[in-house]
């Protein structure tokens, strides 16, 4: 349960920012058990019930002199400096605990739990937690853009966004970059073996790369499948004695990098 000193501390912190003037007045009215949609009516109630005098009534209506308002509230709430110091120490300990748990869960890759503890610390005014939450929001935006461009086949753009997200500590982005690096290595091995005429090995590496979301590898597999179909049709028509048709299919297969089809065409030239 929130103590009077803790409630005072919450309102005093809000009062540091002039933009929170209405929130501060509402918090004070709530402290006195008043729930007014129109804050001016609440101030008038305090005046008519002699909780405030005429001069301070004007101060609350204007809501400009936050120092005077908080000093008055401290007196009316009856909190001492010792109680405030104890509340501050308790809050500091709470924030430190939240930050520690957030670091622990984020380090384990549990982003939702980590974010929850950061939000709890930020609610207490922790600038460190607020900054980390901004970083997490930025990282999520960059990660989403990375996924978006990767789905469109723009690997360079997507990688850039994943790198920006990973730089802010996004574990999903870091994992994605590892996958992309692995996929690129597998794709290069596929190209290497395919260039040597080892189609089965080349295809295997392209499949490994495609499994990690590499669009080039996926496209290469389609080309290999297409080339294999064309090569088989070429063989079929050649067996039937239709050399012109078979040559056409071998040419289509060779155009997609099929070494067997290229070898067949060389026989035609011979």
Q: What is the mean pLDDT of the chain?
A: 89
pLDDT-above-70 percentage for the chain? 99
Tell me the average pLDDT across 219-247.
92
Q: 1: pLDDT confidence band, cut at 50, 70 and 90?
A: low
Q: 159: pLDDT confidence band, cut at 50, 70 and 90?
A: very high
Q: Does the pLDDT at position 208 exceed 90?
A: yes
Reduced to 3 states, what is the DSSP secondary structure of residue 170?
coil
State the pLDDT at residue 270: 62
pTM for the whole structure: 0.62
Q: Which of 17, 12, 55, 58 is nearest to 31 (CA)?
A: 12
State the pLDDT at residue 33: 82
Q: Which residues contact 159 (CB under 8 A, 6 or more apart)?
A: 146, 177, 180
Higher pLDDT pick, 156 / 35: 156
State the pLDDT at residue 164: 96
Q: Does the pLDDT at position 2 exceed 80?
A: no
């Amino acid at each position: 349960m929130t103590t009077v000193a803790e409630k005072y501390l919450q309102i005093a912190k809000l009062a540091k920012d002039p933009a929170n003037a209405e929130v501060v007045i509402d918090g004070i009215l709530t402290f006195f058990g008043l729930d007014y949609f129109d804050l001016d009516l609440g101030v008038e109630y305090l005046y008519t019930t002699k909780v405030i005098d005429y001069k301070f009534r004007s101060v609350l209506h204007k809501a400009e002199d936050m120092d005077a308002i908080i000093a008055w509230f401290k007196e009316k709430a009856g909190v001492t400096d010792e109680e405030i110091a104890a509340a501050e120490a308790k809050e500091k300990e709470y924030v430190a605990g939240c930050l520690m748990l957030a670091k622990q869960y984020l380090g384990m890759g549990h982003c939702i739990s980590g974010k929850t503890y950061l939000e709890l610390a930020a609610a207490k005014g922790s600038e460190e937690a607020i900054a980390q939450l901004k970083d997490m929001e930025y990282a999520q935006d960059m990660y989403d853009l990375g996924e978006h461009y990767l789905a469109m086949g723009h690997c360079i753009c997507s990688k850039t966004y994943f790198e920006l997200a990973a730089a802010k500590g996004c574990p999903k982005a870091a994992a994605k970059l590892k996958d992309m690096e692995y996929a690129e290595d597998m794709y290069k091995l596929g190209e290497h073996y395919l260039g040597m005429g080892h189609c089965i090995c080349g295809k295997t590496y392209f499949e490994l790369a495609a499994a990690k979301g590499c669009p080039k590898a996926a496209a290469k597999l389609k080309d290999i499948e297409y080339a294999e179909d064309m090569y088989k049709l070429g063989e079929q028509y050649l067996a039937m004695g239709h050399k012109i048709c078979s040559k056409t299919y071998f040419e289509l297969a060779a155009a997609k990098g099929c070494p067997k089809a290229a070898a067949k065409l060389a026989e035609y030239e011979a």
